[in-house]
Each structure stands twice: as C-alpha cells, then as structure tokens.
Amino acid sequence: MRFENTRAAQPSSFAHRAAYYSSAEELVSIAAPIAEAGLRGGTPVALIASSDTERRLREALVEPVGLIHLPPPKPWMRRSGQTLATRRAHELRDLVDWAGPVTVIAEHRADNPDEDPSSWVETDVALNLALSSAPITMTCLYPASLAEGPKHRAVLWSHPWLIDPDGAIRRNTEVRQPAEVLAAHPVPAASRLGTPDHEMTFTPWQLIELRTSVGRATDKLGMEKAKADDFIIAVNEVASNAVEHGRGLGTLQIWQRHDRLVCEVHDTGALAEPLPGLRLPHPSASRGRGVWMARQLCDLLHVWSDGKGTHVQLQAVLSGSG
C-alpha cells in the first residue's frame, strides 16, 4: 500500500514546544504565563490536562475567561496515537475557524499511557503532521522523569521549540523529520483480535463485493445508517489504495463486537509515507485525499507496516460505547 504525499493547505505555521515539570506547582508556574499571554492577546487557550490541573491553573490566572478545557479522550482513542491526534486536530481546527489563532497547553502525566513512547511519540509526530498548517502554538509539558535517555531524545526530535526552566523559549536544533522519529520508535501494530468473523481477498474488480460485506456487518450490529455509510466509504477508500499501490491484491478482515465494528485491510506493499492521511489536503490537490477522508469518517484509523506489508485498522464505535 502506497500513500501519496499531499501539499498542506497553507504554509507551515504550527509551533510545537516542550518543557519539563517536576511537580504540580511547577507545571502551573510554567503554564500560567503562557496562558496569560494568550488571553491578554485575545487568543483562546485550549487546555488538555486533568481536572486538577485545570483547577490549579484557573486559580493562578488573573482572568481565566477564554480558557477552554478540552474533554479527555475516549479510552478507545488511546489505542492509536494517530487517531488521538486526528481527533485533537479536528477539535483545534474547529476552534481556529471560530476564533483564529489558538494557544494550546497539553499536560503529559507519568501515570498515563502517554508515558509509553510507542503511544506519545506517535501522537506528537501525528500532531506535527495534522496541524502543520494551523495557526496554533502548542506547549507540551512532560514530567521530569522523562528527561533522560531515549524518551528525552524523542521529545527533542518532535518539538522545534523548547522552554527552559527560567521560561526562556529557544529553537531546538535536534528536531527531526517524522520518518526519522518513527524509524527509532516504530508505530505499534494494532492489538490482535483473534479469528475474524469474515475474511476475503479482493482485487480492484471486487470492491463492490467488499462494500457489500462491510454493509452486511453494519446491518447485523444495527448501526445507524449515516454512520454505517460513512464507515463503508472509509473502508472502501483504504481498500482502493491497497489494490492500487499494493500489487493489485488486498485482504479484508472483519470483526463484529457488541460495541464496535472492526475492519482491517492488509496488502504487501510498502508504506511510502509515515502516518498518511493526517495532513489537510491542499484544495487544488487531485489525489491523496482518500486516507485523509477515511480518517474523518471513522472513529479509529490506525496504520502500521512491517515485513509483510502495510496494514490499516478501522473501527466504528456504536453510540454510547466508551
């Protein structure tokens, strides 16, 4: 499976910064001046943090009006850093469309899954891709326990700007391209789900049959029509890429669970672009929109590659599921 690069809709304007904190008090001492500067300039400040951190920050601010606490991600979103980044990018782009440039403060906690490099490194790289053209300044605050070894290097590689303990902001000369970061911290495979309920090998002439198979599965689960239609389109877009760039042959696997429908598309092609479909396509681009569109139409889309080829897992989560 090969995904083509697409031009960003605008020149790069995303400013991704990192800082370390050793206590809840220090976290607030770093975050408060950043939030104050944004709010004084009329810029909304989006906070991605625990409720306790939100309370502490509001108490520290002179005038906290304009501080927006984004809801925590659903547990299933955390299974894929690229999916989490897709959802956050969607929220933040909506905020930009409404209010213009946005300041974001994101808390990483040692007791969260984010401490695992396979999760938070993937999320950081995905955010760099998904928000590359957005007028957003995001400051990621990491616990000091991560400020050493490979974890520290991964932080440096994904953040072009660093904030020193004295609050000074400086350009980071150790930042690397997404492909380099993911070469050191490969995207993990999706969790295995056991024997699929349905499996088929498909060619370009069997995409109608593939869509029919996915449609039958959505009907069995009683999925609402609009959501089912979106999911069928998402799977079809990924499958079309598989047969176009994966030597004309792909495999579809379907699992029906009580709270979700899971499809995986596999082919033997190589992944030409890490984490495809995250960049907002340029309005004039005639190709390269399929995976981006698929990411918008399903609840989870996770892409990974290995020695056997390229793999994509898509999920549609039923209403009311966690």
| pLDDT tens by residue, 181-207 | 999 889 999 988 999 999 999 999 999
Residue labelled with tokens 């904030």? 163
Which pLDDT belongs to residue 5?
40
- The partner residues of 202 in beta bridges, in order of sequence, read 250
What are the backbone angles phi and psi of residue 104, rounded to the nearest 5°? -120, 135
| Residue of 233, 231, 265 whose CA lies nearest to 246 | 265
| Residue of 167, 170, 201 whose CA lies nearest to 20 | 167
CA distance 127 to 278: 8
Q: Low-confidence residues of the chain, pLDDT below 70?
A: 1-12, 110-118, 246, 283-288, 320-322
Which pLDDT belongs to residue 285?
58
- In the sheet with 169-171, reading across from the earlier edge strand, the strands are 67-69, 45-48, 102-107, 136-143, 15-21, 161-163, 169-171
Which pLDDT belongs to residue 11?
45
| Residue of 34, 48, 148 whose CA lies nearest to 89 | 48
Which pLDDT belongs to residue 75?
80
Three-class secondary structure of residue 304 per DSSP: strand
Which pLDDT belongs to residue 6?
40
- Chain centroid to CA 69: how far? 19
pTM for this structure? 0.89
**Four-residue CA torsion sign, 15, 20, 24, 30:** negative
Domains of the chain and CATH, by start: 15-184 (3.40.50.300), 198-317 (3.30.565.10)
Q: Where are the alpha helices (DSSP H) in the chain?
A: 24-40, 51-60, 81-99, 117-130, 149-158, 178-184, 207-221, 225-245, 290-297
pLDDT digits (tens, 9 = 90+) for 65-89: 889 999 888 887 888 999 999 999 9
Euclidean distance between the first and the last CA atom of the chain, given in angstroms as a whole number: 31
Which pLDDT belongs to residue 49?
94
For residue 133, how many C-alpha atoms fall within 13 Å in the half-sphere facing its CB?
14
